[in-house]
Structure 1
Amino acid sequence: MAGIRELARECGVSVATVSRALNGHPEVSETTRRQIQEAATRLGYRPSQSARALVRGRTDTVGLLWDTGYEVTGRRHPFLLALLVGVKRALSASGRHMLLLNVDDNRHRSSDRAFLDIALQHQLDGVVMMGVDEQHPTMRTLYGSGFPCVALDLPVQGPRATYVTSDNYTGAAEAVRYLYSLGHRDIATITGPVDSLPAAQRLVGYEDAMRELGMTSRPEYVETGDFFVDSGYACAARLALLPERPTAVFVAGDEMAVGAMHAFEDARISIPGDIAIVGFDDIEAASLVRPALTTVAQDPIALGAAAVEVLLTLVDTPLPSVTQPVEAQAQGQAQASVDADVDGASDAMRGAESAPVALATASAGASTTSHASAKLKPQAPQPQQQSRSLLFAPRTVPTRLVERQSCAVRR
């Protein structure tokens, strides 16, 4: 296989001319460019990726921060695996590679700069974060540093960092309205851990839809699970023992919904005759259980595509000039925004005015009823800060209701 010097000798031109011709520079004539391209094909020339990266300042490689420790149950959730496929497919379509970064190895947590240093050492273009603890100091240093980062379902914010999530609020509200349309008035919910962004948004969507339709959200009708089967079973078992049992349950995750279905079956409560169930996610098991589960479908492929699209926008956005160290300033702003996103979720989703942001939100994937106030927005920087930092709005991907056999008209 010939190198660039051999190719230059073959064509009787300089190494610089070969480089310019193969990189599309306009000062090279079309005749010379065609001669060099034909010779490159004939000699089997392949450009050095490391050399191209050095010249372009890009490696076309994106890091994936994902805690793959198998002993952590959450890492085995089927929806996370579907998200990984979506991200990988979108990166491949954009001509980029993915590098999996170790998260479950304590050696990589030796300092707060650990992951930032790894990203810089590998000359990564950016980083996608999923299934990690975004509050860990190593993560906060990374996305607060100005290095391009996009997270999936994790409320991060920084000079060049934001997140992508499904329209959890609208999906939950749609599930409640659907149950209402079937005649149900006593609707319970099994939510995920409320310190999780998706769970918090889905709970607010449930509560607001109940209020909008004139129904009361009873405290005993709100159970908190952890997105997995066992917690869904335990929560449903408690609901089954209530003196005034609900006639329908919105479950904020399909795995919990499967557990809930088993609990009601064990309590001899028929589905959908005695109780209707709507899940969230549309994992493969949703169509395999009997009766098949009505659910709010997320689109992992669209989420992956949105995450990559946003990340590439961040990569192409220059870091603004700063008058103090970027990490120290950005971390403070990022954490304030993250805390506001989770702790103030209810206010933001109930129609709080959105601040001007650098990146406009857009929708991808399947269509559904939009709800502008459902999209969480980062806190607006103070006027004196706007020249020193950029905050990017999160991207929200629509959901859709998939009707199956776990719901029926209330008689």
Structure 2
Amino acid sequence: MFSFTLDATPPRRSATCPLTQNGYFVNIRELARRSGVSTATVSRALNDRAEVSEATRERIRRLATELGYAPNEPARTLVRRRSDTIGLVWDSGQEAQGLHNPFLLGLLSAVRTALSEADYHLMLLTTPAPEDPEGTHLQAVRRHNLEGVIVLTTPPDDRFLRLLAASTVPCAGIDTAFTGPRTVRVSSDNAAGAEAAVEHLYALGHRRIATITGPLHLPPAAERLAGYRRACARLGLGVPEAYVAEGDFFLASGQAAARRLLEVAERPTAIFAAGDQMAIGALHAAADAGLAVPRDLAVVGFDDIDAASLVRPALTTVAQDQRALGEAAVAALRGLLDAEPGAGAQPAQARIVPTRLVIRGSSRSGA
């Protein structure tokens, strides 16, 4: 298990004491020496204790600011038995790919911002080595005294995730379906977003609407496919087996899947892709086939990554609110942290963040 910390907190929470202009570290003893008081008095002053006069407290704080003093976090953790650090688990099967996924990177940034605003550090936990029996996420949580964990898009059958969920560690999963004594799920309304995409294409006159799914073992992909099927059934649209092609949320798979869909005897006139990168891949496939978008083929994606508005034609897509997802995950986790663990505790309610359809040039009236 390898882990590293992303500093998600203001400078005052720095884990190290900076060097003074003379080249040595400022610690509490140095503050005491320069202030002419005991280290206990300095500690009380910095922690707003009532036993210190206002004048002494202000003098010590002013000196601490001038010298660039910052508290020693490991020592504070030992004393307070809290680390103010939250672990983040990335999809253990797709970490390398995830680093190239703009939506996941944006979501990571949103989580980091929400934790910063809540005054927490963030530690990224990478995939344990299979041969390392002590390298589980749970071991990392205990080793670093983490207060809780946020999980991003990890398959529910991941064995490391199962161990973590079964423990008493508070866990909030974004787009991750797991159950345990102190777990909660946060996600966008994936099914409703997919339904809105199909309804939009139907309103434009399309009756042959195909879909490119994500990996169906991941909850977002399965839910978006369910929403697509539900909308098609409600609108009386048939869904031939050939109209459902699986991708992996990345561009190349979307291009390959769209090529297969465009080779179907009764070619679809519209494609709903469960991720923007796959939808952009579908735009490439349409161009390769000599089809004009949206005249010959309408395309709708999901996520609203930055590239969605930059491609030509600009991509119609179902937008997820990354900031709201990050804030909901941190709020849900804090709710678990505040709740007393025990047999009588009620399961935390899932938090669902609404999506919205953003209509651009890849689909339009009269397509």
Same fold (TM over 0.5): yes
**Paired residue for 1:179?**
201
* Aligned residue in 2 for 1:42: 63
1:101 to 85, 106, 125: 125
Give the Cα separation in 2 of the matches to 1:70 and 1:208. 29
User: Quick check: 1:403 aligned with 2:359?
Assistant: yes
Residue in 2 aligned with 1:3? Answer: 28
The CA distance in 2 between the partners of 1:2 and 1:219, in whole Å, is 68
Q: Secondary structure at the match of 1:127?
A: strand
CA drift of 1:55 comes to 3.4
Structure 1's 305 and 236: CA in aligned 2 closer, same or farther, altered over 3 A? same
Equivalent position of 1:82 in the other structure:
106
| 1:143 corresponding residue in structure 2 | 165
Aligned pair 1:311/2:342, yes or no? no
The CA deviation string for residues 50-95 of structure 1, in whole angstroms up to 9 with x for no partner, is 3332333221111222258888434422211111111111122222
Opposite residue 301 of structure 2, the aligned amino acid is G
Q: Does the 8 A contact of 2:155 with 2:217 survive in 1?
A: no
Are the equivalent residues in 2 in contact too, given 1:67–1:75 (CA < 8 A)?
no
* 8 Å Cα contact 1:67/1:131 also seen in 2: yes
Paired residue for 2:350? Answer: 394
Give the Cα separation in 2 of the matches to 1:316 and 1:5.
37
Partner amino acid, structure 2, of 1:233? Q
Q: How does 1:246-261 map to 2 (within 5 A)?
A: 246-261=268-283
SS of alignment partner, residue 233 of structure 2:
helix
Q: Which residue of structure 1 lines up, in the alignment, with residue 300 of structure 2?
A: 278
**C-alpha contact 2:209 2:270 (8 A) present in aligned 1:** yes
The residue number in structure 1 matching 2:152 is 130
Give 1:250 deviation, angstroms.
Answer: 1.0
5+ unaligned residues in a row in structure 1: which ranges? 323-386
- Listed as ranges, the matches of 1:176-325 within 5 Å are 176-320=198-342, 322=343
Distance 1:47 1:73, change over 3 A: closer
Cα distance in structure 2, aligned partners of 1:161 and 1:34? 47
The Cα of 1:284 is off from its aligned counterpart by 2.2
Q: Does the 8 Å contact 2:194/2:228 carry over to 1?
A: yes
* Structure 1 CA distance for aligned equivalents of residues 324 and 337 of structure 2: 20
Describe the superposition over 1:149-174 as per-residue Cα deviations: whole angstroms up to 9, x where unpaired.
Answer: 11221112221112221111111111
Work out the percentage of aligned pairs sharing the same amino acid. Answer: 45
Normalising by structure 2, report the TM-score. 0.82
SS of the residue 2:53 aligns to: helix
Paired residues of 1:8 and 1:18 also in contact (CA < 8 A): no
Is the 1:221–1:239 Cα contact (8 Å) retained in structure 2?
A: yes
After superposition, the Cα gap between the structure-2 partners of 1:195 and 1:36, relative to the gap in structure 1 and judged at 3 Å, is same
Give the equivalent residue in structure 2 for 1:32.
53
Tell me how many residue pairs correspond in the alignment.
Answer: 339
Paired residue type of 1:398: P
Q: What root-mean-square deviation, in Å, do the aligned CA atoms of Structure 1 and Structure 2 show? A: 2.7
> Does structure 2 retain, via aligned residues, the 8 Å contact 1:7–1:40?
no
Q: Check conservation: 2:31, 2:63, Cα contact below 8 A.
A: no
Letter matched to residue 28 of structure 2: G
More contact order relative to length (CA 8 Å, sep ≥ 6): 1
Partner amino acid for 1:32?
A: S
- Alignment-derived partner of residue 330 in structure 1: none
Q: Tell me how far apart the structure 2 counterparts of residues 220 and 56 of structure 1 sit (CA, whole Å).
A: 59
Shift of 1:288: 2.2
CA positional deviation for 1:224: 1.9
Distance (whole Å) between structure 2 residues aligned to residue 259 and residue 76 of structure 1: 15
Shift of 1:216: 2.6
